[in-house]
């Protein structure tokens, strides 16, 4: 009596009324079954008649001990209906027991009568099965008499859009230009931050010499009794200044050679320096020679006197240099400008060579590692390579459902069947991507037969499938057959081989490969057909991945 009342309630079409009575029946069964130790499982739907695409709520109610572990069905276990949404579990406490309600939103896009199969609920790892429910899906009636009629629009010619490859070319060209531009900027146009040594080197010789003398005073040479290093640095400062400003080779000259050169400039009138300064400079250089080569250790007073003497020599030498004429200044500026231009041209040439070398080296490295064809397909683009490396989708199709992983979502299509075949078929669903003349094509179909119809002969179906492919433009079909077993140990029959596919639009024939997988079990039949261009290694990888992913849900 309670079961009859419950059925009447679940067929009612008032949502609030149904929810109230569903909870009411829930507690009614609680009182009746409270003393039972085994769990109580009840199922209900809010309607058994829906239109195509309309959703129904399927509920599973479980009453069990508070310590029980309960696992509800997951995934697409409601075939031939499709699960749209799974809701969280509602939990109600009833004394020392828990009442759990799990709700699913289901739908179907084909009209007909469908049975929601038994669902397995695990309670403490013990399976319990619900009752199956019958649902009627009605087609949507369309009154065409109320529709306005319009003339058929004429054909309009449009230009074929073939921007895909040009977009890739543009992107790769832009990337190369950006790389070359970055190299030019980094090595040519970028103003690099100068180090302290570079900043000092850019100073005029006179200012640089005075700054270096100041830095020498702050060094630790004298504190650490490193007299040789101190005098080497001291004399190098004044020698470098004389070489830069007076334009004589001072760093590589001995003491006597350097003094002779200064005296010759003085006698020629090119350097207006007095004899006392030259003698003072000679004395400092000789003291430095004794320290560096004879390991002499001068007194601190001598060291301090030599330090001051060097600074005076730099100052007096600067004063002794004649002022350059306007012609000399102009020539010097022109020389510096030409020198700067040469440096810039040299940098540009180096950067361009480096950019070209980098591109060639990178390309050669990729070709050596991946191969020329792979690099070409990556740069220019390849349709099946993009499919292989794109985001794949793992889903279930049809009823009995077939689980398969594909590079694109398969779209539902209609396959025409002969009248004699329609009398044996109870339901059929087909899903596909592409066509036989495309680079890659896959078709997944699933059939259920009426009661009393025996499982089909898989070899006969392969012959019929080949015949259909020949009607679609296939020629010279080579057929090979072998048994096939999925990862879930379901056996089927595999047919594969080569064929020529006629593309009537392009008026050419393409050599292709194909794979046909057939499965038959418990009044149901599933088929997977894949075709692709011959010699396409990316397509071969796609086929292997698809075939290895095929699985079937165990129908309760």
Among candidate residues 321, 188, 300, 152, the one with its CA nearest the CA of residue 246: 321
| Contact between residue 283 and residue 234 where contact means Cβ atoms under 8 Å apart | no
Among candidate residues 55, 65, 61, 66, the one with its CA nearest the CA of residue 23: 61
DSSP-assigned beta bridge partners for residue 481: 495
Helices (H), 246-325: 255-268, 275-293, 300-320
pLDDT for the residue numbered 406: 92
- The tokens describing 150, both together, are 């319009």
Cβ contacts of 516 within 8 Å, gap of 6 or more? 462, 465, 494, 495, 496, 527, 528, 529, 530
- The tokens describing 369, both together, are 């590692």
Q: For 203-320, CATH number?
A: 1.20.120
- The DSSP result for 429-480, as a single string, is EEEEES-TTSSEEEEEEEEEEPTTPPPP-HHHHHHHHHHHHHHTTEES---E
Count CB neighbours of 551 within 10 A.
Answer: 16
How far are the Cα atoms of 97, 240, 246, 290 from residue 249, in angstroms, in the given order?
104, 9, 9, 22
| Contact between residue 481 and residue 458 where contact means Cβ atoms under 8 Å apart | no
Instruction: Domain 383-552: give its CATH superfamily.
Output: Mog1/PsbP, alpha/beta/alpha sandwich (3.40.1000.10)
- Does an H or E element contain 357, and which? helix 326-370
Cβ contacts of 432 within 8 Å, gap of 6 or more? 410, 411, 413, 441, 442, 443, 444
Please count the residues of the chain. Answer: 556
Residue that is written with structure tokens 């991945």 in the block: 545
Give the Cα separation of 41 and 105 in Å (integer): 19
- The DSSP result for 361-380, as a single string, is HHHHHHHHHH-HHHHHHHHH
Q: What fold, for 2-138?
A: Immunoglobulin-like (2.60.40)
Burial class of residue 149 in the structure, from the number of CB atoms within 10 Å of its CB (0-12 exposed, 13-18 middle, 19+ buried): exposed
pLDDT for the residue numbered 153: 65
Give the Cα separation of 85 and 102 in Å (integer): 11
- Residue ranges of E strands in 30-88: 40-45, 49-51, 56-65, 70-71, 82-86
Residue 38: phi, psi to the nearest 5? -75, 150
Give the Cα separation of 494 and 529 in Å (integer): 10
- The tokens describing 540, both together, are 């071969």
pLDDT for the residue numbered 233: 92
pLDDT for the residue numbered 30: 47
Per-residue buried b or exposed e for 470-496, using 16+ beta carbons within 10 Å of the residue's own CB:
eeebbeebeeeeeebebeeebebbbbb
Cβ contacts of 493 within 8 Å, gap of 6 or more? 458, 459, 462, 481, 482, 483, 484, 517, 518
**Are 203-320 and 383-552 equal in CATH topology?**
no
Hey, where are the domains in the chain?
Answer: 2-138, 203-320, 383-552
One digit per residue, pLDDT tens: the chain, 556 residues? 334 333 333 334 444 344 434 444 444 444 444 444 578 888 889 888 888 888 999 999 888 887 788 889 887 788 888 888 888 988 887 777 888 888 999 998 888 888 888 888 888 888 888 888 888 988 766 565 655 666 666 666 655 544 455 566 577 778 878 887 787 777 766 777 777 777 777 788 889 889 999 999 888 888 888 989 999 999 999 999 898 888 888 888 999 999 998 889 888 888 888 889 889 999 999 999 999 888 888 888 999 999 999 999 999 988 888 776 677 667 667 767 877 788 778 777 877 787 777 777 777 776 776 677 666 666 666 788 888 888 898 888 887 788 899 998 899 888 777 666 667 777 788 899 988 888 899 999 888 877 766 777 788 888 888 888 888 888 888 989 898 888 778 888 899 999 998 887 778 888 899 999 988 866 678 889 999 988 888 889 999 999 998 887 654 4
End-to-end CA distance of the chain: 28
Hey, is 47 helix, strand or coil? coil
Count CB neighbours of 144 within 10 A.
Answer: 6
Give the Cα separation of 250 and 258 in Å (integer): 6
């Amino acid at each position: 009596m309670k079961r009859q009342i419950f059925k009447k309630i679940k067929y009612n079409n008032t949502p609030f009324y149904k929810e109230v009575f569903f909870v009411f029946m829930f507690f009614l069964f609680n009182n009746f079954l409270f003393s039972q130790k085994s769990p109580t499982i009840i199922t209900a739907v809010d309607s058994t008649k829906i239109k195509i695409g309309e959703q129904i709520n399927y509920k599973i109610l479980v009453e069990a001990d508070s310590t029980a572990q309960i696992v509800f069905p997951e995934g697409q276990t409601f075939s031939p209906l499709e699960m749209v949404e799974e809701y969280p579990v509602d939990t109600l406490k009833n004394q020392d027991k828990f009442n759990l309600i799990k709700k699913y939103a289901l739908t179907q896009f084909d009209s007909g009568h469908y049975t929601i199969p038994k669902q397995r609920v695990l309670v403490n790892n013990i399976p319990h099965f619900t009752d199956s429910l019958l649902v009627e899906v009605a087609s949507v009636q369309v009154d065409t008499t109320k529709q306005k009629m319009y003339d058929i629009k004429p054909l309009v010619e449009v230009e074929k859009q073939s921007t895909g490859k040009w977009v890739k070319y543009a992107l790769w060209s832009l990337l190369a230009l950006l790389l070359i531009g970055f190299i030019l900027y980094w090595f040519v146009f970028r103003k690099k931050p100068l180090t302290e040594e570079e900043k000092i080197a850019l100073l005029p010789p006179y200012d640089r010499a005075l700054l270096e003398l100041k830095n020498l005073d702050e060094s630790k040479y004298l504190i650490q009794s490193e007299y040789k290093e101190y005098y080497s640095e001291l004399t190098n400062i004044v020698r470098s200044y004389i070489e830069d400003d007076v334009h004589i080779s001072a760093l590589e000259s001995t003491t006597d050679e350097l003094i002779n050169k200064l005296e010759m400039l003085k006698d020629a009138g090119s350097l207006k320096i007095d004899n006392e300064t030259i003698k003072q400079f000679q004395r400092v250089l000789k003291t430095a020679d004794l320290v560096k080569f004879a390991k002499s250790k001068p007194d601190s007073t001598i060291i301090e006197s030599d330090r001051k003497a060097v600074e005076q020599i730099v100052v007096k030498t600067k004063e002794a240099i004649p002022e350059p004429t306007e012609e000399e200044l102009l020539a010097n500026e022109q020389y510096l400008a030409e020198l700067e231009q040469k440096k810039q041209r040299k940098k540009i040439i180096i950067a361009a060579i480096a950019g070209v070398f980098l591109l060639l080296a990178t390309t050669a490295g990729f070709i050596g590692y991946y191969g020329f064809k792979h690099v070409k397909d990556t740069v220019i683009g390849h349709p099946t390579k993009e499919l292989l490396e794109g985001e794949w989708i793992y889903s279930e199709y049809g009823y009995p459902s077939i689980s398969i992983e594909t590079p694109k979502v398969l779209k539902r299509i209609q396959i025409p069947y002969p009248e004699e075949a329609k009398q044996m078929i109870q339901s059929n669903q087909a899903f596909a991507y592409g066509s036989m003349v495309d680079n890659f094509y896959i078709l997944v179909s699933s059939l259920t037969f009426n009661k009393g119809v025996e499982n089909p002969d898989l070899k006969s179906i392969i012959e019929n499938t080949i015949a259909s492919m020949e009607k679609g433009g296939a020629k010279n079909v080579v057929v090979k057959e072998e048994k096939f077993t999925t990862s879930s140990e379901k056996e089927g029959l595999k047919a594969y081989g080569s064929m020529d596919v006629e593309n009537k639009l392009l008026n050419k024939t393409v050599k292709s490969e194909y794979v046909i997988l057939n499965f038959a079990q418990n009044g149901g039949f599933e088929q997977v057909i894949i075709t692709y261009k011959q010699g396409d290694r990316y397509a071969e990888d796609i086929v292997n991945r698809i075939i290895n992913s095929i699985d079937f849900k165990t129908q309760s």
